[in-house]
Amino acid sequence: MTRLVTVDPDRPDPARLEAPAAALRAGRLVAFPTETVYGLGAHARDAQAVGALFAAKGRPATNPLIVHVPDGAALGGLVASVTPLAAALADRWWPGPLTLVLDAAPSVPAVTTGGLSTVAVRAPDHPVAEALLRQAGVPVAAPSANTSGRPSPTRAEHVHADLAAAVDWIVDGGACRVGVESTVVDARGEVPLVLREGAVTREDLGVTGQAAADAQAQRHSPGARFRHYAPACRVEIAPPGEGPARAGGLAAAGHRVGLVARAAPPAGVTEVGTFGDARDLAVGLYDALRRAERAELEVLVVEGVPEEGVGRAVMDRLRRAAQA
Ligand code: TXA
Ligand code: MG
């Protein structure tokens, strides 16, 4: 049975996190908020717990997990060596939405790393995640807390909708403030190689001009291979400014259409959301995908954003959601 505990997102009461923290230590599954999306946590050193986590999500065994730690001090115990680049990145960006891929320590179970020799680690920037990780006292493997292939959860009710039967605790800390996942970088070399675009931007990292090197690194990285972020309705991407016209055309052709755009929709189109800039769209995108499917729309038209800053991560997620 799933138990739900609601906590103050800014000042969580440690007493309310005691049972979920103990459950993590005991090898149970606990969903919790981070600044990006909700994670589904399991004790990263407990192979059986991590096995149960893969089963709960229906996640392919070859897609490795991110191990969550409260701060940079916990990194050393999980990796074979902290490279100078990793130390500098952790120092600058942790806690925060940057995940570092490094050579794994032998003590990290193969099920956690998807059988790879590397492990992904991050320290989330969310008071609830940090408090829970400290109280649990163990490293916590946590993919996004959605059924594999579905939009990531940015609210506790999204977790409940996908995974209620499979998790022991859902810690409700309100809506996530970033809305797209962490940036995943390979930090084994001299420069960070971007394996997944995310909330820490290429501009932030000073790596806007190395698409070829990143593409090469991504070929050896598992994450990009799997289907992602897809709601039950079709998603179409319209160029900036053209959302209302595209949605209006589809509605005129007899479709049940919703719109996420800068401007309000024309008659006959359901307003699913409006946004100002890419950061706004990031915050609301996954919730919009889920609301579109609950409204039983046939098509959701989402207006695109420029491919710069966090817009790169947003467009990456949108393109995957739109893949038929
Ligand atoms: O913001 C986030 O990163 C969220 C929150 C919960 O922290 N987590 C998340 O986890 O998005 P998940 O499992 O949905 O995505 C993890 C990504 C996948 O693309 C996976 O393939 C990649 O990280 N990854 C994990 N370990 C890796 C490794 N050793 N080498 C390369 N990629 C790895
Ligand atoms: Mg995910």
Read off the pLDDT of residues 167-224 as tens digits, 9 standing for 90 and up: 999 999 999 999 999 999 999 999 999 999 999 999 999 999 888 888 888 887 887 6
Omega before 240 within 30 of 0, i.e. cis: no
Q: How far apart are alpha carbons 209 and 23 in whole angstroms?
A: 45
Candidate of 36, 40, 102, 144 to mutate for ligand 1, largest count of ligand atoms within 8 Å of Cβ: 144
Ligand 1 site, residue 123, Cβ cutoff 6 A = no
Q: What is the pLDDT of residues 96-124, one digit of tens each?
A: 999 999 999 999 999 999 999 999 999 99
Ligand 1 site, residue 2, Cβ cutoff 6 A = no
Q: How far apart are alpha carbons 164 and 264 in whole angstroms?
A: 34
Q: What is the pLDDT of residues 8-33, one digit of tens each?
A: 999 999 999 999 999 999 999 999 99
Q: Which atom of ligand 1 is nearest to the CA of 104?
A: 29
Query: Among 49-53, 69-73, 166-170, 223-227, which stretch is predicted with the lowest mean pLDDT?
Result: 223-227
Q: Which fold has domain 3-218?
A: DHBP synthase (3.90.870)
Q: How far apart are alpha carbons 212 and 208 in whole angstroms?
A: 11
CA angle 239, 290, 224 (to 5 degrees): 65
pLDDT band at 148 (very low <50, low <70, confident <90, very high): very high
Phi, psi of 164 (to 5 degrees): -50, -40
Q: Whose CA is nearest to atom 17 of ligand 1?
A: 223
Burial of residue 121, with CB atoms counted within 10 A of its CB: 0-12 exposed, 13-18 middle, 19 or more buried: buried
Q: How far apart are alpha carbons 183 and 320 in whole angstroms?
A: 16
CA 309 to chain centre: 17
Ligand 1 site, residue 151, Cβ cutoff 6 A = no
User: What pTM does this model have?
Assistant: 0.97
Enclosing H/E stretch for 23:
helix 14-25
Q: At what angle do helices 278-294 and 311-322 cross, to 10 degrees?
A: 20
Ligand 2 centre to CA of 299 (Å) is: 23
Q: How far apart are alpha carbons 177 and 126 in whole angstroms?
A: 9
Q: How far apart are alpha carbons 270 and 221 in whole angstroms?
A: 38
- How much of the chain is helix, strand and coil, in % rounded to 5? 35, 20, 45
Ligand 1 site, residue 118, Cβ cutoff 6 A = yes
Q: Whose CA is nearest to atom 13 of ligand 1?
A: 143
Helix, strand, or coil here: 248? helix
Q: Which fold has domain 234-322?
A: Rossmann fold (3.40.50)
Ligand 1 site, residue 66, Cβ cutoff 6 A = yes
Residues with CB under 5 A from ligand 2 (ion): 144
Ligand 1 centre to CA of 120 (Å) is: 7
Phi, psi of 132 (to 5 degrees): -65, -45
Q: What is the pLDDT of residues 279-290, one digit of tens each?
A: 999 999 999 999
**Which residue ranges make up each domain of the chain?**
3-218, 234-322
Q: Whose CA is nearest to atom 12 of ligand 1?
A: 143
CB 193 within 8 A of CB 209: no
Q: Whose CA is nearest to atom 21 of ligand 1?
A: 223
CA 247 to chain centre: 28
Q: Is the pLDDT of residue 40 over 90?
A: yes
Phi, psi of 3 (to 5 degrees): -105, 145
Burial of residue 147, with CB atoms counted within 10 A of its CB: 0-12 exposed, 13-18 middle, 19 or more buried: middle
- At 324 the pLDDT is 64
- Beta strands across the sheet bearing 257-261: 234-238, 299-303, 257-261, 270-274
Comparing 3-218 with 234-322, is the CATH topology the same? no
